[in-house]
Amino acid sequence: MATDDRPLITCAGNQSLFASVHPHIVDALALQKTEWQRSYGRPVRKVRLCGHFVPFDVHQLPRKFDENRLLKDPVLHLYWIDCDIETYKRKVHDDLFMWWSALRALSIPDWLIIVVEHEENKVKNKILRTSVFDKVKSEFGSRSSNSPKKDNFKWCIIFSDPTRNDLKSEAWTSVISRVKELMLASFSRTISKFEDAMRLERERRIQPDWTFAKYFMLQESLAKFYNVIELYEDALVQYDELDALFAQFVVNHSVGDKADWLLPYGELASGWEGVSMSTDVNLYRRMLISEGKPSLLDLRNYMFSSQCDLLIQLERPSELTDRSLKFIHNTIHELRLLEVDMPPGAVSCWVFLTCKELLSVCETFKEYLDIEIYSIYTSHLWTCLQSVTYKLGCLCGLMPGSSPTSQELHSVVQLISGISNGSNYNNALTPQHRLKRVLSSSQEFCSYYVELTEMTICTLKYIKHTRMAKVLGLQLAKFYMASKKPQQAEPFLLSCLQLFTNDQWTSLEVDTWNQLALCEQMMGHSSAYVRASLKVASHSRASSDLRVSCMQRITDFALSNKEVVVVVEDCALSLLSVSVQNDSQSNAATLQVQVEFKLPVSLEYDTLSLLIKPHVPGETNSDKSKSSQKGRSSFAAVQLAPFYDRKQEDGSVSVGLDCVNPHSLLTHKDSHNTGHMIRNLSKNKVEQTDSEQEMVASICSGSLNPGRNKLTFLLQEPRMGEFRVHQIRLQKSSIDLYSNVPGGAFSIRTSTPPKVKVEFGDQPICFLGMTNSLTAQVSSEDVDGKLPSVTSSQADVSVHSSTESPTTLRFQFQPTTKSITPSSQLLPVKFSFESTPHYTLPAETLLISQTIECCCPIEISSKVYTAREQKFIQIAVFSLVEGQDISIRHPSLEVTQQSDCGLEFTSLNGPDNALWTLKQSSQLSFLWRLKTDAVITDSVKCSFSLQFQEKMDETLTDDFYTFSTEVSIDIVLTQFIMTRYIKSGIPMSPLSISRQTSTEQASPFSPDTLSSELKPNTWQALCECEMVVELKSCTDLQPYEGEGHSQQMSYEIRSDPNWAISGSKHGLLELDSHTLCSTISVRLMPLTNGFLCMPEVKLRNANDEEFLPGQVYDNSKLSQVFISNNES
């Protein structure tokens, strides 16, 4: 913090006294932060106050408010008094009066008189009954009319014994608090006036005499003021507003809204210094701005350096780096909009210096930041720095393999002339010195560029920006190639090639293959060179000139008599089709092979051969290639063996594990392994290879043209079976080209019958009445490539087939039986094959039959519900079909059992023509009411049926299927009705009991009793009540004699955590012989408030057996009691 930026505080009176306490006052002001209550509803902020104390000078007092002197005018005036009453009257009074009069004449309210009082003066003041403080208050108190009455004595304070230097003492705390209070009040008034003046100045921006430099100095003084009191966030806002305002002026200027003051910013730039955090540099740039003579780079550099300084104070390195890249791009854009005349490369020099300076600033955060976080912050700065360094090298002729021209040397001199020397710090090269050395020497540039690029690549890899790192690696590889260092370039090229191939970046892939070919040529790797050239020459996305050029390289190399073997994966040659034509007279087979030649020009070959292997179903050459590549990239298995060593000096035994195959683990594997190759070839003759099952056919002296080529190979005495073309060999002079090709399968018929395996589609099983998607996997050695037809021998099955692949047949299978039961059915399906003639054998038709099991698509469950004496039957219907809705209609439930019980079901399912949709993984429930005139003791046999069809769209057809099944229902009639309710409260704790009933009068046995409400006088008092349990027999409805209707039965009141139950919880309950009713009572005390369910009561018959579900109907099962803790 600069001393001139601190708020000014003048001191008058006893200067020797102030000099003794001055250091302590400065420390006390900055010791703790103070709350600043700002105006206009702004939030309270904590500030750290400081001050620059100067002697009082009446000539330096402001005559009026000047917005340009925000940091130059005093904010507080102090007068120090340290004397007795006689000295005050004789000397001090007149001087104090003159000081006060000067402030009053200029309407300055911010002043404070500090009267020092020593311990020895307190006794004397008591005798005289007066003191200097009292004298000052009496003489100047009535004159301080600029403050409210309650604040009249804020301008004067006693300072007791200041020589103690105890900053935490009451005297020091009182004085410092008063000084802070007055300073903050002065700040509030001054800042309010300053903001009004600044607002007026900003509104004048359309006036011809308005300049941005003047307004910048005005608003920056507010930012510096906030910086002094450590309001860094507010200071940063001021610079952001200035940044946005200037950027808007530049945009408006570019579209025609010209501003005269902006024209000098577009003149020729004399220097291109970057952002600097040096105080001297920024003071010089600020002086240029105040004089109205800055360039665009001067203004932008100074503004961003100020923002960086505030972000450093706020400890926001991430925001600093984020802003830096936007700042660089915005400044370059503004240079273009204002059409600033700068020599070529000047902008790159400015970016270089800026990035170097900002990276040095970020180094200060590296010590306490995680290395990964630090890399994330600085990665884009490293990338930008590497990019402009590369541009400067190309512009100035510093790249390897080139020597600078006179024009390039002139550019270097011109660029260096616009860069100052800078200043050394930390005994390291400044960005200016580093840039000058890089531009002055090609060797220095190459060394620095490699170091910088590798550092950037490491940073990007560390933060997982792999693609960007590999793109830079490609650029570095080209640099190494130009430097004649292909060994360093090859790893980068191979790494980039893998990325571009996997991501299908074809243009970059072609360029990388071409660079790799040149790299392998420089290193003398013949096989790799030819292979890379073949990749480029056969690539469809490469340009015609490049393909022809690479083809010429291959041709020239073939004439060099350097033998080389190259293996490529479907590169130059691609196998399209293979067909077999049999000759029964000569006992030979002719292979008609169609290949695609991908090279751009015709090629005459010496020998073209095919390696034919037995075909394994489901296996292709591409699968083998992938597995082999995977095997080459993985480590060999480690083979370990135990060892024992008893030859220890101390007699102990040493045991461990020993690797028995270190040679396999450490052996270098050739990345250009050719695998199995064809040997001993001759024209039109089959030669056996290592395996007895393999065959070789070849053609000599031919040519291949670009595009499709038809070739004919003759097989003598071929074996029967399934075969495929495994490899194609093309021999041209000294080059042997092996191409592993996928596909190329052909068959020679054997006697193996075809096989069909039926697999289910989306559903794990087939369903009756639904359309089922099935797949037939066909495997046969004597089928001519046509899939079989599918038929059914039953009239109630429909089949529709479609072909998906040469070995897969998809067909729709729909049973059409209208009447469906839960049991499954077995339905047959037949597959008809047309066999391939084996030479002279005739064709034949083969039939294979398969049986498919079909199940019902729905299932049901039944349940009986009780409502007092009434019984209800619920039938739930579930769907077993996934991904398909089912439409349902006409549900029906009928009694099939013949008896005298008079059973009757009444449907509660809506109109007869209702239609329901059964969703997957859901259910539909249907309900019937039971009517009967007799007692039922056994299960009732019923028949349930419905009609359904699969719902394909919104339209329905009349093609419904009928589902029917037998249902056994256990019906138990209601024998007893039990009612529980709260009867009354105990007198010791009065209760208010209320019942919520229906419109009809509720009896003790009425089911309409819903809840009771208990309101004790105080919640602290005990609240007791009585629960009544009433039991009524239903003999008037269903007369019945038996064990379940005994005169006596037992009851049990279950424990409830919400109630305390008094008395016994078990007992006998005896029915009255006349009313067939019984009542029991129990005392309860609620343990909590709210809606509580009453304790549960369980009944047992005389044999201590529980009643069956439905025999006892609990009329109060859902009743609740409301317990209130409010006073009644």
> pLDDT (tens digit, 9 = 90+) per residue, 111-120?
888 888 776 6
Residue 191, pLDDT > 80, answer: yes
Whether residue 1038 is predicted with pLDDT greater than 60 in this model: the reply is no
Please give the pLDDT value at position 38: 78
- pLDDT over threshold 90, residue 755: no
- pTM for this structure? 0.58
> Which pLDDT belongs to residue 1121?
85
CB 7 within 8 A of CB 50: yes
Instruction: For residue range 437-489, list pLDDT tens digits in order.
Output: 999 999 999 999 999 999 999 999 988 898 999 999 999 999 999 999 999 99
Backbone conformation region of residue 561, classed left if phi is above 0, alpha if psi is from -120 to 50, else beta: left
Give per-residue pLDDT as tens, 520-567. Answer: 989 988 888 888 998 899 888 889 899 999 988 888 888 776 777 777
Is residue 386 predicted with pLDDT exceeding 90?
A: yes
982 three-state secondary structure? strand
- Whole-number Å distance between alpha carbons of 612 and 728: 9
SS3 832: strand
* pLDDT tens per residue across span 164-174: 666 667 778 88
DSSP string for 170-187:
HHHHHHHHHHHHHHHHHH
- pLDDT score recorded for residue 630: 41
Please name the helix (run of DSSP H) or strand (run of DSSP E) that holds residue 995, with its range, or none.
none
Kindly tell me if the per-residue pLDDT of 831 is higher than 70.
Answer: no
> Given pLDDT bands bounded at 50, 70 and 90, which one contains residue 686?
very low
Burial environment of residue 948 by CB neighbours within 10 A (0 to 12, 13 to 18, 19 or more): buried
Which has more pLDDT, 790 or 1029? Answer: 1029
- The per-residue pLDDT for 22 is 84
Q: Give the least confident one: 14-18, 24-28, 708-712, 839-843.
A: 839-843
Strand partners, 946: 963
Read off the pLDDT of residues 279-306 as tens digits, 9 standing for 90 and up. Answer: 888 999 999 998 888 899 999 999 999 9
Pairing of strands 886-895, 940-950: antiparallel
- In whole angstroms, give the CA distance from residue 286 to residue 301: 10
Band (610; pLDDT cuts 50, 70, 90): confident
Token pair listed for 1074: 């006349």
Contact 467, 459 (CB under 8 A): no
2 or 1064, which is more confident:
1064
Residue 109 has pLDDT above 80, yes or no: yes
Are 824 and 801 in contact by the 8 Å Cβ rule? The answer is no
pLDDT at 782: 47
- pLDDT at residue 1128 is higher than 60: no
Q: Can you tell me the mean pLDDT for 835-839?
A: 43
CA-to-CA separations, 850 to 577, 751, 757, 827, 831, in angstroms, rounded: 34, 21, 9, 9, 8
Amino acid residing at 298: D
**Would you call 925 helix, strand, or coil by DSSP?**
strand
Q: What tokens does 281 get?
A: 């540099």
Distance, in Å, from the CA atom of 328 to the CA atom of 342, rounded to the nearest integer, reads 16
Amino acid, single-letter form, for residue 408? E
Q: What angle do CA 1062, 1067, 1072 make, to 5 degrees?
A: 115
Residue 807 — pLDDT band, cuts 50, 70, 90? low
DSSP code at position 1069 = E
Which of 178-182, 665-669, 825-829, 937-941 is the most confident on average?
A: 178-182
Name the DSSP letter for residue 1002.
Answer: P
595: burial class by Cβ within 10 Å (0-12, 13-18, 19+)?
A: buried
Grouping H, G, I as helix, E, B as strand and the rest as coil, residue 236 is helix
Choose among 329, 353, 343, 211: nearest CA to 268: 343
Residue 338 CB coordination number (10 Å): 17
What angle, 0 to 180 degrees and rounded to 10, lies between the N-to-C axes of helices 317-337 and 346-363? 170
Residues 257-280: what's their mean pLDDT? 86
What are 601's two structure tokens? Answer: 């020009």
Q: How far apart are CA 851 and CA 871, in angstroms?
A: 46
Lowest mean pLDDT among 227-231, 237-241, 259-263, 730-734: 730-734
1091-1101 as b/e: b if 16+ CB within 10 A: ebbbbebebeb
The reported pLDDT for the residue numbered 1020 is 35
Mean pLDDT of 323-332: 93
Q: Are 833 and 788 in contact (CB under 8 A)?
A: yes
Q: What angle is formed at CA 984 by the lines to CA 982 and CA 988, rounded to 5 degrees?
A: 130
What letter represents residue 113's amino acid?
I
Q: Are 565 and 677 in contact (CB under 8 A)?
A: yes
Q: Does 1017 score more than 50 pLDDT?
A: no
| Phi, psi angles (nearest 5°) of residue 972 | -115, 120
The band of 867, judged by pLDDT with boundaries at 50, 70 and 90, is confident
Report how far residue 382's alpha carbon sits from residue 380's, in angstroms, rounded to the nearest whole number: 5
What is the Cα 1080 distance to its own chain's centre? Answer: 66
Q: Are 135 and 97 in contact, with CB atoms under 8 Å apart?
A: no
Of the ranges 44-48, 81-85, 1070-1074, which one carries the lowest mean pLDDT score? 1070-1074
Instruction: Please give the Cα distance from 15 to 82 (Å, whole number).
Output: 10
Q: Is the pLDDT of residue 986 over 50?
A: no
- What does the alpha-carbon distance between residue 947 and residue 955 come to, in Å, rounded to a whole number? 16
Angle between helices 466-482 and 442-462 (to 10 degrees): 160
| Mean pLDDT, residues 936-960 | 80
Residue 249 has pLDDT above 90, yes or no: yes
- Rg (the chain; Cα; Å): 51
Predicted pLDDT of residue 247: 94
Sign of torsion, CA 24 29 30 32?
Answer: positive
Residue showing tokens 């884009």? 380
Judged against a pLDDT cut of 80, whether residue 357 lies above it is answered with: yes
Average pLDDT, the chain: 77
pLDDT at 302: 94
Phi, psi of 692 (to 5 degrees): -70, -20
Q: Is the dihedral of CA 552, 554, 560, 561 positive or negative?
A: negative
Looking at residue 659, the DSSP 8-state letter turns out to be E
Mean pLDDT of 382-411: 91
C-alpha–C-alpha distance, residues 776 and 182, integer Å: 95
Q: Answer yes or no: are the C-beta atoms of 304 and 327 closer than 8 Å.
A: yes
Is residue 122's pLDDT more than 80?
A: no
Task: Say what the pLDDT of residue 424 is.
Answer: 53
Give dist(CA 727, CA 741) in Å, integer.
6
416 C-beta neighbours (distance < 10 Å), count:
14
557/545 Cα distance (integer angstroms): 18
Task: Identify whether the C-beta of residue 1096 lies closer than 8 Å to the C-beta of residue 1056.
Answer: yes
